[in-house]
Structure 1
Amino acid sequence: MTYFGTTGGIIAAASKKSAEPLKIVGSIPVVKRIVLTLQQANVFPIVIVTGTREAEVIHQIASSGVIFLHTDNCEQPELLASLKQGLAYLKNKCQRVVFTPVNTPMFFPSTLKAILSCDAPIVAPSCHGRGGHPIILRHDIWDRILAYVGNGGLRGAIDTYGVRRHWVSVEDEGVLLNVHNEEQLERHLKAHNDSLLSPVIKVNIESEQIIFNARLKLLLFLIADLNSVRQACIHMGLSYAKAWNMINCLEKEVDYSIVSRQHGGSKGGHTKLTEKGEQLMRAYQVYEQELNDIAQVRFETLFRRTSLV
């Protein structure tokens, strides 16, 4: 698949020992908080590397439009292993990635947008002279990270290859906060909730019923990548029957094939997007992002600048 978006996301949530993806901060799990932050910056696709409490994570987050990558090594995986798994999946799908552990959920959307505005191989935020998360990794260094087998995790890989980090100073203590420090999380919660306040546009294309939405966009994206409806469903937490119902309803409405099916054979069957199916998916992605951008500008004008919210 050729590039589908500019920026993808990787959330490391696999470790049984330390990751707490479903820890509630405010009224939502920390993994949901990170997803909301990434989506405000138009990050897509978002990959969650799962392990601990995987079934619960998928159940709670599947409707958020993310991709789940299972890891068997979840007893005490290194962050670098989760990063590598995410990079291997996103290779050739986007030009850079936002990487963060699930235990660092409190950075502001404005902080993410600030570091995304910098074009460097590695960009990271710093607050009060201390480096934090998330980290931006440009595609031209992914192969070196994937090939690294030494010690020291990502920092070891960066030091070995001599790639300099570009630091962006921010007034956001959330880049430093870990879920294990509940007192600091509580102090930062209102500021983070205020930062998340924004318009959320759900783009549905409808006739008598919804025929295309963000959920179907993700399904088609995964079919294009995996050539399998069943595997696409596993990666997005969607039932197989529901997926085919969505595809069949769409094909009936638009009156052309969205997918091509090949049954059986020595290598088993597979399903691919048709050319028009891929055109539809990409057009929806552009349309959805443009509407969200317009909504954000109008929100700033009508609500933020007038201090109504």
Structure 2
Amino acid sequence: MSGQKVSYEDTGAVIMAAGGGARRNAPGALDVVGGLSHVKRVVLNFQRAGIKDLILVCGEEEDTLKKQLRGFGVTFLRIDPEKGTEMFEAVRLGLSYCRERCSQIFVCPVDVPFFSAGTVERLWKSSAEVAIPSYQNRGGHPVKIRRQAVESILSYRGNDGLRGAIREAHAEVEYIEVEDVGSVSPAGERKSDQRLEAQYRSELSRARVKVQLVNTKPYFGPGMVTLLKQIRSLGSVREASEKTGISYSKAWTMIRTAEEETGAELVGRQQGGKYGGMAEVTKAGMELIRKYEELERCVQKYSDEKFREIFQSGTLMVNTDGGNEL
């Protein structure tokens, strides 16, 4: 992957941890290889590539997944079992949720956890309506879908999943040839999983930086960014807190703390109602998000450069399952 990340400000990723269909015997989101669960590995792969707007479609494991991914800035959607158990229903839910704010959306099942960040960048650069990674003429994941193809894909009512939806939508499809066997390798076979995990372990080694804004106390970080973005989309603090996996009372505590420390109203609210009243992110709130994300990109870029300079230029290479936190 190139040393300079592209900008993914309006790009999201839908990760399917529910809806098995033909893959119902596939490994679960919480299965572990090399010290990392499949779901955490997929999340880290996207985050390493620079994608922050991550949507996880869950089933009955929602509560456990929320605990495992607390602090990762993930939005959680629970699929309605009455709408079916096919994986495409999970795809449909995720695409419907983020189509308004994302011009490009990656889609990936949780049982394909070994794709590389470089593959994500290659797909992102494609101008096609649908971009699919290809390794030795085999299509894989993640699949990138542009906004203009989403409506046609959502209207699909056939039985051939995402592949059938793309075909019936007559979308422009580009297969991107990548040197990434992980993109075409579903997890599940022990020896193969161990080989892939060892192959991609070095890519996970990094300096992971968590940027927090502090005045008299810490008041703004990744969790607050995710919360405000969900409030902007949903118009409700209660619904936003549910989607981000935090309690309603904690959400308001975070908002009030940030407002006290900045001296600005970040969330406009109208009290009352069954769902806790309406809420909207103010101009000051949106400006704070913009400045925070600009700072975060600058800090991460500097951190990546210094990590390569310090750790990858000599014989010592710190190699851990979850990355190096400096």
Does the C-alpha gap of structure 1 residues 168 and 307 become closer, same or farther in structure 2, counting only changes over 3 Å?
farther
Q: 2:224 matched to 1:216?
A: yes
The alpha-carbon distance between structure 1 residues 164 and 267, as it changes in their structure 2 partners (threshold 3 A), is: closer
Unaligned runs of 5+ in 1: none
Spell out, residue by residue over 1:135-179, the C-alpha distance to the aligned partner (whole angstroms, 9 max, x if none).
Answer: 111111111111111231121122223324211222221112222
More off after superposition, 263-272 vs 121-130: 263-272
Give the aligned partner of residue 230 of structure 1: 238
CA contact (8 A) 1:104 1:176 kept: yes
Task: Determine helix, strand or coil for the equivalent of 2:114.
Answer: coil
- Structure 1 residue 296 displacement after superposition: 2.2
For residues 84 and 285 of structure 1, the distance between their equivalents in structure 2, rounded to whole angstroms, comes to 29
Q: Are 1:86 and 2:94 counterparts?
A: yes
> What is the distance in 1 between the residues matched to 2:206 and 2:263?
37
Between the aligned partners of 1:307 and 1:40, the Cα distance in structure 2 is 23
Equivalent residue for 1:10? 14
CA contact (8 A) 1:122 1:137 kept: yes
Say whether residues 1:49 and 2:57 are aligned partners. yes
Contact 1:104 1:177 in 2 (8 A): yes
77-86 or 288-297, larger mean C-alpha shift: 288-297
In structure 2, C-alpha distance between the alignment counterparts of 1:74 and 1:292, rounded to whole Å: 43
Q: Kindly tell me: are residues 187 and 74 of structure 1, through their superposed partners in 2, closer, same or farther at Cα, counting changes over 3 Å?
A: farther
How many angstroms apart in 2 are the aligned matches of 1:219 and 1:264? 20
- Does residue 146 (structure 1) correspond to residue 150 (structure 2)? The answer is no
C-alpha distance in 1, partners of 2:273/2:183? Answer: 51
Question: Counterparts of 2:162 and 2:17 in 1: how far apart (Å)?
Answer: 16
The one-letter amino acid paired with 1:14 is: A
Q: 1:63 to 1:267 in 2, by over 3 A?
A: closer
Deviates more, 1:188-197 or 1:257-266: 257-266
Give the match's secondary structure for 1:180. coil
Question: What does 1:107-118 correspond to in 2, within 5 Å?
Answer: 107-118=115-126
Letter in 1 for 2:190: E
Q: Which amino acid aligns with 1:151?
A: N
**Could you tell me how far apart the structure 1 residues matched to 2:305 and 2:132 are?**
26
1:5 and 1:95 in contact (8 A); partners too: no
Q: Distance in 2 between matches of 1:41 and 1:206?
A: 27
Distance 1:164 1:305 in 2: 42
Name the SS of the counterpart of 2:81 in structure 1: coil
Provide the secondary structure at the position in 2 that maps to 1:64.
coil
Cα shift at 1:196: 1.2
1:293 deviation in Å?
A: 2.7
- SS of equivalent residue, structure 1 residue 149: coil
| TM-superposed deviation, 1:74 | 7.9
1:86-235 equivalence runs, <5 A: 86-235=94-243
1:34 positional shift: 0.5
Residue 219 and residue 268 in structure 1: after superposition, are their counterparts in 2 closer, same or farther (change >3 A)? closer
Supply the RMSD in Å over aligned alpha carbons. Answer: 2.1
Aligned equivalents of 2:29, 2:274: Cα separation in 1: 41
CA 1:282–1:74 in structure 2 vs 1: closer, same or farther (change >3 Å)?
A: farther
Question: Within the alignment, does 1:244 sit opposite 2:252 as a pair?
Answer: yes
Q: Distance in 2 between matches of 1:250 and 1:197?
A: 32
* More divergent stretch after superposition (36-45 vs 288-297): 288-297
Q: Which amino acid aligns with 2:307?
A: F
Asked if the contact 1:108/1:196 (under 8 Å) is kept, the reply is: no
User: Aligned partners of 1:40 and 1:134: how far apart in 2?
Assistant: 14
Change in 2 beyond 3 A, CA 1:264/1:172? same
Distance change (3 Å), C-alpha of 1:60 and 1:263: same
Amino acid at match of 2:312: R
Q: TM-score, normalised by structure 2?
A: 0.87
Structure 1 range deviating more: 194-203 or 291-300: 291-300
| C-alpha distance in structure 2 between counterparts of 1:92 and 1:76, whole Å | 24
Say yes or no: does 1:27 pair with 2:51: no
Q: Scaled by the length of structure 1, what TM-score is found?
A: 0.92
Greater shift after overlay, 281-290 or 197-206?
Answer: 281-290
Q: Which amino acid aligns with 2:203?
A: S
How many corresponding residue pairs? Answer: 306
